Amino acid sequence: MTELDHRVRGVDHVAFPTFDPAATVRFYRDVLGFPVVHSICAAGWGPEDHPDFIHFFFDIGNDDRIAFFYYFGTDPSLGGPEGAKGDVHGRFGADVPEYFVRSRHLAIHVENEEDLLEYRRRLDASDWPVEMQIQHETIESIYTHDPNGYFFEITRAMRPVTPQEDLDAALTIDALLDVVAQPEPTFGKLLARKAELIVERAPGWEPVGSEPAR
Amino acid sequence: MTELYILDVPENTAVAKAAAEDPAATVGQVGPYFVISAEGPIVIDRRATGCRHAVWYSCVAGVARTGRITQHDKDALRVEPA
Ligand SMILES: [Fe+2]
């Protein structure tokens, strides 16, 4: 299905607004030790009454970066009324379920358990201690909220992804597209469609490359 | 006839093993999937698998249309003829 060559090279940067640059720098640079690698100081211009701003970047490894905008003369009310839940950019009422509020987040990768626990130590010694440490299916993650309320995850793989998981992911997505094209998609319908695709496509499947399936 | 598919990855082998303990069920393989089949219901005891939450609740890859999941909670996974 995927015949387009894959040329992209990871995250260049992901950018968020901040109204508290001091705490943001403390969290990312001083607590986590992410180096400041780039910044832009710009006078406001343009038709929209754009404020003067600082755009600053922290290295999150791999030359990927997390960036913030600080707009002079603004405060969190810029983004609308304060939310009972969410962060300075995404504001939600008390009735919005937590799984939805947390669904959009950034997860930063570490190599192994030792490194995960090192970041856990750094956070736990700070004003932003780890709120949860969870082993998911094949990854282990720690979570907190940064000074802007952004839900923040650091994660490690507990084992490499196997080729059969790539097959399974492809079948899942094809089944999902079939099911959401019909009225009232359900998990049960997805599993039934996936069973059909497994019968169709799994028997002839062979792991790509020389690495044996584990 | 009920058929349950489970991807063959290290976390899931305990689920297939627990399923095989039921004499009414047979465990086969289709490509990289375990296929657990039975004439009647398939019941897998959560405790017998020793699976963590996230693994337990995401271990099902497919259920043939001849059956459907009637229970998937902290105690058991049950697939019954539709
Ligand atoms: Fe995540």
Over the stretch B2-51, which tens digit does the pLDDT of each residue have?
999 999 999 999 999 999 998 999 999 999 999 999 999 999 999 999 99
CATH number of the domain that B58 lies in? 3.90.56.10
N-to-C CA span, chain B: 9
| CA dist., res. B69 & res. B63, Å (int) | 8
The whole-number average pLDDT for the span A26-50 is 93
On chain B, the residues whose CB falls within 8 A of the CB of A208 are none
Nearest CA distance, B21 vs chain A (angstrom): 23
Residue B72 domain flag: no
Residues of B in contact with A196 (CB under 8 A): 62, 64-65
CA closest to A204 among chain B residues: B31
Instruction: Report if residue B35 sits inside a domain.
Output: yes
Task: Calculate how far, in angstroms, residue A73's C-alpha sits from the geometric centre of ligand 1.
Answer: 33
Q: For residue A153, how far is its CA from the centre of ligand 1 (angstroms)?
A: 6
B15-52 burial, b at 16+ Cβ within 10 Å, e below that, comes to bbebbeebeebebeebbbbbbbbbeebbbbebeebebe
The minimal CB distance from B64 to the residues A164, A168, A195 is found for A195
**Number of domains chain A contains:** 2
> Does A206 map to a domain?
no
Q: Quote the number of domains for chain B.
A: 1
DSSP state string for A170-194: HHHHHHHHHHHTSSS--HHHHHHHH
| Same domain, residue pair A24 and A67 | yes
- For residue B9, the distance in angstroms to the closest alpha carbon of chain A comes to 7
- Domain range enclosing A61: 13-157
pTM of the model: 0.90
Find, among A192, A6, A100, the residue nearest to B79 by Cα: A192
Is this prediction's ipTM beyond 0.90? yes
Determine the distance in angstroms separating the CA of B10 from the nearest CA of chain A, rounded to an integer.
Answer: 8
Does residue A8 form part of some domain?
A: no
User: Which of A164, A188, A202 lies nearest to residue B9, judging by beta carbons?
Assistant: A164
* Model confidence band, residue A206 (pLDDT cutoffs 50, 70, 90): confident
- How far does B48 lie from chain A, in Å, by closest CA? 18
| CB within 8 Å: A195 and B5 | yes
Q: Do A124 and A193 have their domain in common?
A: no
Flag whether B82 is in a domain: no
- Is A179 in the B-facing interface, judged by CB distances under 8 Å? no
Q: What is the pLDDT of residue A214?
A: 47
- Residue A209, pLDDT score: 58
Residue A176 sits in the same domain as residue A123: no
Q: What is the largest CA-CA distance in chain B?
A: 30
Residue A143 and residue A167 in one domain = no
- Name the phi and psi angles at A5, rounded to 5: -70, 150
Domain span holding position B14: 2-65
